[in-house]
Amino acid sequence: MKTALLLVDIQREYFQDGVMPLESPVEAAVQARRLLVRCRSNHVPAIFIQHIAIDPQAASFRNASPGVRHYTSIRPLPGEAVVRKHYPSAFRDTNLLDLLRAR
């Protein structure tokens, strides 16, 4: 069996100072971090999915805005895959399926 950890949209936009804060995002990030550390120690690849708005006037996830950045404790290391998406689906117009097939 082939395994990879997908970390989807764990971005600052969803935290306290973001445009779209969610309920308990820090607690969710703590759990994601635990999974990430475990996967890294077991050589399981992590793939970071990052939402970036296409429209430069979008209310959220604008390219180069602070909210588009990965949350502090859930950042990719050099060499780890980052898939940038512009739609709710991480598969639409991205290389995610190719990355998964290659692994």
pLDDT digits (tens, 9 = 90+) for 59-100: 999 999 999 999 999 999 999 999 999 999 999 999 999 999
The helix, strand and coil proportions of the chain, stated in percent and rounded to the nearest 5, come to 30, 15, 55
The β-bridge partners of 82 are 48
Q: What is the pLDDT of residues 15-69, one digit of tens each?
A: 999 999 999 999 999 999 999 999 999 999 999 999 999 999 999 999 999 999 9
Among 98, 49, 41, CA closest to 76: 49
Among 98, 87, 77, CA closest to 52: 87
Top-level class of domain 5-102: alpha beta
